[in-house]
Structure 1
Amino acid sequence: MKTLKITLLLSFLFPVIVSAQTLLETYKTGKVKLLPDPTYAQNVNWDRVFASYHDTLYGRWKGDDKVLTILPDGSAVVSHAYKNFYTRFDANGRFVEEFGVSRPGGNNYRSLKHVQGVLNNKILFTGLDNMGNMLCFDFKGNLVKTLKMDYMAKQIIALPNNKLALVGWVLWSNKIREFVAIIDYETNEEKIIWDHFSDRNFVQGTHRFNYMYSFKDGGMVSFSTMPFVRALGMSHPPMIASVGNHIIIAIPETGEIRKHDLNGKFISSQKIDWAKGNISVEEQKEIQKKAIAKYRSMKSPQFVKWASNQENCDARDYFIQEMEKDLQQISEPIPMPYFSNLMKDSDDNLLFFEFPKEKGANVFNVWVYENNGKFVAKSSFVTKSYGLEIKPSKMVFHNGYIYALQEKKDATGVPLRMVRFRVEAE
Structure 2
Amino acid sequence: MERSESGERQISWAARSMPVLTAIGERFAADRPLDGLRISACLHVTAETAVLMGALRAGGAEIALAASNPLSTRDDVAEALRGYGVAVHARAGVDRATYYRHIHQALDLGPDLVLDDGCDLVNILHTERTDLLEGVSGGCEETTTGIIRLRQMAAEGALRFPVVAVNDTRTKRMFDNRYGTGQSTLDGIMRATNTMLAGRTVVVAGFGFCGRGVAERAKGLGARVVVTEIDAVKALDATLQGYEVRPMAEAAALGDLFITVTGNRDVVRGEHLAAMRDGAMLANAGHFDVEIDVRALDELAVEVHRGVRPNTDEYVLADGRRLLLLAEGRLVNLTAAEGHPAAVMDMSFSAQALAVAWLAGERARLAPGVYDVPEEIDHEVARLKLAAAGIGIDTLTGDQEDYLHSWRVGS
* TM class, shorter-length: under 0.3
* TM-score computed with the length of structure 2 as normaliser: 0.27
The structure richer in helix per residue is 2
More strand by share: 1
- TM-score (structure 1 length as normaliser): 0.27
